[in-house]
Structure 1
Amino acid sequence: MKRVVYVTGSRAEYGIVKRLLKRLQQDPHIEFSLLVTAMHLEPKYGSTIDIIKQDGFDITASIPISLNTENNQTIIHSMAECLDKFGEHFQNNKYDAVIVLGDRYEMLSVSIAAAMHNIPLIHLHGGEQTLGNYDEFIRHCITKMSKLHLTATEEYRKRVIQLGEVPESVINIGSLGAENSLLLNLPSKEELVSKLDIPTTPYFMVVFHPETLTGHSVLAQVESLLGALEQFKQSYKFVFIGSNSDTHSDQIFKRFKNYTDENKFKFFTSVKPEEYLALIKYSQGLIGNSSSGLLEAPSCGVGTVNIGNRQQGRVRGESVIDVEPNTTSISQGIKKLTSIEFQQKLPHMINPYYQKYSMERAYQEIIRFLNSPMNSTVKYFYDLRSIE
């Protein structure tokens, strides 16, 4: 029996992989473990470990780390603590593979700990670019420690190979999140109104995170965003979702909380994955700089006003409207999104991240990897000659 562990630290990546985790948990030939850390354990981020428990998962271990987003040094302290604690866990618990998703700083620490203990890493969503955030180099670092790579587009697959990874170990499966939007049993709008007290009138979703590499003022960008929303609040309501635990995210939280209280708009620290997708689905569109605006929102059938550089470099479909982080540009983006011309074209726009059977392909590739020599052999650097 193979021992496989998934490490989750945030609501976003947990929501993406939940169906895959259930598939692995149900496999009688796998001893599946789930380690929970970081934002899941913090009340200020919604204590989303409770959602994981409600979903029926047995949590193998909760590994708390201190999260202080005041500056980069406090983030580095969190990374060091995470590295130490997961190093100790992997010293005392042996696994045949550790699965991680994406690019968050705590996942870099987890990956280093696993690699140093010679535990094979399986990485989802490698090869992507986010040039406005430190997730950019974190993601590529995790790639170099991983043995199996499950990418979300063909462009990302080629980039991982360009990083020196053996082509046979890099599989383009599409985005699990894009598939989730179509296959998960989402609550109806009436259920959301009853449970979350969201507006019955037209509303936009607002999800905004810090840019951590550009040097731009987080508060200046937030004020530009709110200045744009002021021009539309007579016609629309706005539903805000709290930011991730990135550097200076506390500034976003405080300003959004004050703004929503003043205007009687809804603000959620966090919601269940199905609720989040449903909130997007029934909205007029997503405004902000979340990756969900590029990956999941197109499958929900809504457009995105993508602000600034946080997602710069990522593949995006026609439903994504890129704007500069200033009030005028954001306002123009919202006007374009709500225009008759754009709305008529929206149903025919393609989500470049969607592939049929993404979750099942991910599962099958993980099983294949666990039973292949690639799991136990030493990695070598693949010198690029051609990409097929």
Structure 2
Amino acid sequence: MIKKRIAYVTGSRAEYGIVKRLLKRLQEDITLDFSLIVTAMHLDSQYGNTVKIIEQDGFRISEKIPVKLDSQNNQTILTSMAETLDLFGKHFQQNRYDAAIVLGDRYEMLSVATAAAMHNIPLIHLHGGEQTLGNYDEFIRHCITKMAKLHLTATDVYRKRVIQLGESPESVHNIGSLGAENGLSLELPSKERLFSKLNLQNKPYFMVAFHPETITGQSVEEQVDQLLLALDTFKKDYQFVFIGSNSDTHSDVIFEKIKRYTEENQFSFFTSVKPEEYLALIKYSKGLIGNSSSGLLEAPSLEVGTVNIGKRQEGRVRGESVIDVESNRQSIEQGIQHLLSNDFQKRLSEMVNPYYQGNSAEKAYEIIKQFLADENKYKPKRFYDLEKQ
């Protein structure tokens, strides 16, 4: 029997953490020739060389494709995209796959998707149909949707939006978010073990994950300054554990300011941690502060509240556990106070995570297997007009 060749391309710790269980399922399937291709942030020391985490998790890495990442401005980002397109164009020219899988909306994944599509390699897209109006991820995600032939969305709202973009309903499946069930499915370290390994103080803490808004026109410097001023109000009673920013435009500005702040206040800063450690850090915290998608997708499953700052996640579906605030000191302070209130804390266990579905990883695996067996995946797809409904 000829095995179907399928590749997953991973470029960031966040996206890898979401799909880790699905990747294990694909690698363990002896009927598949599965390739894991590692690139971008995973291979950059500035972002923690997280390829080591992937190797420690027992994955066989088929290819490492390093790309120079420079987040100084949009032009340097475009240079990284061009290099990624060239390198993956060559890889897909030399390696024929029956399908390639990408997740989400990062700029390097747009280059990967373009290279695959140009080589007529059927593309499987996770987390399409979502909105993030404060970032260029917004239009990148929809561009990848139009190149993909199979779509695994995280809510029914997103499924309908992908169909609205002209994709056939038969190719769009709402499986929930794999990340939303990870906190309940992965084996997380105990609080004692986590604190010991990461050398954390035994004191109540908040997780902080803050990334740039890249298309709102707001000053990244001012946003970070306002966040840190708000945290100052609570630092006598709480410690703050910071996680490094993604490689978006001006992420270097965030890195420098937060690094200095943590050193001055003796707070913890981690460029990156293992997926299980990140989820555990959220689980044992008083709440997640920032603008990370994990505050909307993963934190609610762990019954942890989120103070979501600014417009980066604007447009995304969210549950009651997410408190939206503006990017200014007063609004952030009020959001944290609301999160800490007895009424909010009592209701957390009853709040529903709109991204959670049981067995999301298994659903994704079964749908992907069916797609690989379908020879129609090589045929050109037609634009689906809503008036046909």
Where on the TM-score scale, by shorter chain, does this alignment land: which range? over 0.9
Q: Is this contact kept in 2: 1:39–1:245, CA < 8 A?
A: yes
Deviations along 1:303-362, whole A, 9 cap, x unmatched? 000000000000000000000000000000000000001001111000000000100000
Deviations along 1:34-92, whole A, 9 cap, x unmatched? 11000000011000000000011111110011100000000000000000000000000
Query: Which residue of the partner structure matches residue 284 of structure 1?
Result: 286
SS at match of 2:161: helix
Query: Which residue of the partner structure matches residue 91 of structure 2?
Result: 89
The answer to whether structure 1 residue 333 and structure 2 residue 373 are counterparts is no
- Give 1:193 shift: 1.0
Q: Is this contact kept in 1: 2:134–2:215, CA < 8 A?
A: yes
Distance in 1, matches of 2:349 and 2:53, equals 32
Match for residue 124 of structure 1 among 123, 126, 130: 126
Distance in 2, matches of 1:296 and 1:151, equals 15
SS at match of 2:240: strand
The answer to whether structure 1 residue 201 and structure 2 residue 203 are counterparts is yes
- Range 192-201 or range 202-211, more displaced: 192-201
Q: Is this contact kept in 1: 2:224–2:254, CA < 8 A?
A: yes
Query: Which residue of the partner structure matches residue 39 of structure 1?
Result: 41
Q: Is this contact kept in 1: 2:283–2:302, CA < 8 A?
A: yes
The answer to whether structure 1 residue 184 and structure 2 residue 202 are counterparts is no
* Structure 2 residue identity aligned to 1:290: S
Q: Is this contact kept in 2: 1:147–1:374, CA < 8 A?
A: no
Query: Which residue of the partner structure matches residue 27 of structure 1?
Result: 29
Distance in 2, matches of 1:382 and 1:245, equals 35
Query: Which residue of the partner structure matches residue 72 of structure 1?
Result: 74
Query: Which residue of the partner structure matches residue 54 of structure 1?
Result: 56
Match for residue 310 of structure 1 among 303, 309, 312: 312
SS at match of 1:133: coil
SS at match of 2:386: coil
Q: Is this contact kept in 2: 1:115–1:145, CA < 8 A?
A: yes
* Structure 2 residue identity aligned to 1:16: I
Query: Which residue of the partner structure matches residue 324 of structure 2?
Result: 322
SS at match of 2:61: coil
* Structure 1 residue identity aligned to 2:360: S
* Structure 1 residue identity aligned to 2:231: L
SS at match of 1:150: strand
Distance in 1, matches of 2:221 and 2:270, equals 19
Q: Which residues in structure 2 correspond to 1:253-264 (within 5 Å)?
A: 253-264=255-266
The answer to whether structure 1 residue 15 and structure 2 residue 32 are counterparts is no
SS at match of 2:152: strand
Query: Which residue of the partner structure matches residue 367 of structure 1?
Result: 369
Distance in 2, matches of 1:172 and 1:270, equals 30
* Structure 1 residue identity aligned to 2:89: G
Q: Is this contact kept in 1: 2:120–2:378, CA < 8 A?
A: no
SS at match of 1:89: helix
- Give 1:373 shift: 3.4
* Structure 1 residue identity aligned to 2:67: I
Match for residue 115 of structure 1 among 92, 114, 117: 117
- Give 1:159 shift: 0.1
* Structure 1 residue identity aligned to 2:152: L
- Give 1:386 shift: 6.4
Distance in 1, matches of 2:143 and 2:352, equals 31
Query: Which residue of the partner structure matches residue 171 of structure 1?
Result: 173
Distance in 2, matches of 1:50 and 1:25, equals 18
SS at match of 2:115: helix
Distance in 2, matches of 1:196 and 1:374, equals 49
Distance in 2, matches of 1:375 and 1:300, equals 38
Distance in 2, matches of 1:18 and 1:341, equals 35
- Range 377-386 or range 225-234, more displaced: 377-386
SS at match of 1:204: strand
Query: Which residue of the partner structure matches residue 103 of structure 2?
Result: 101
Match for residue 219 of structure 1 among 218, 221, 226: 221
TM-score, normalised to structure 2's length? 0.99
Distance in 1, matches of 2:375 and 2:65, equals 31
Q: Is this contact kept in 1: 2:7–2:99, CA < 8 A?
A: yes
SS at match of 2:19: helix
Query: Which residue of the partner structure matches residue 344 of structure 1?
Result: 346
SS at match of 1:78: helix
Distance in 2, matches of 1:198 and 1:73, equals 39
Match for residue 141 of structure 2 among 108, 133, 139: 139
Q: 1:220 to 1:386 in 2, by over 3 A?
A: farther
Match for residue 298 of structure 1 among 294, 297, 300: 300
Residue segments in structure 2 that go unaligned for 5+ positions in a row: none
* Structure 2 residue identity aligned to 1:295: L
* Structure 1 residue identity aligned to 2:376: M
Residue segments in structure 1 that go unaligned for 5+ positions in a row: none
TM-score, normalised to structure 1's length? 0.99
* Structure 1 residue identity aligned to 2:156: E
Q: Which residues in structure 2 correspond to 1:232-243 (within 5 Å)?
A: 232-243=234-245
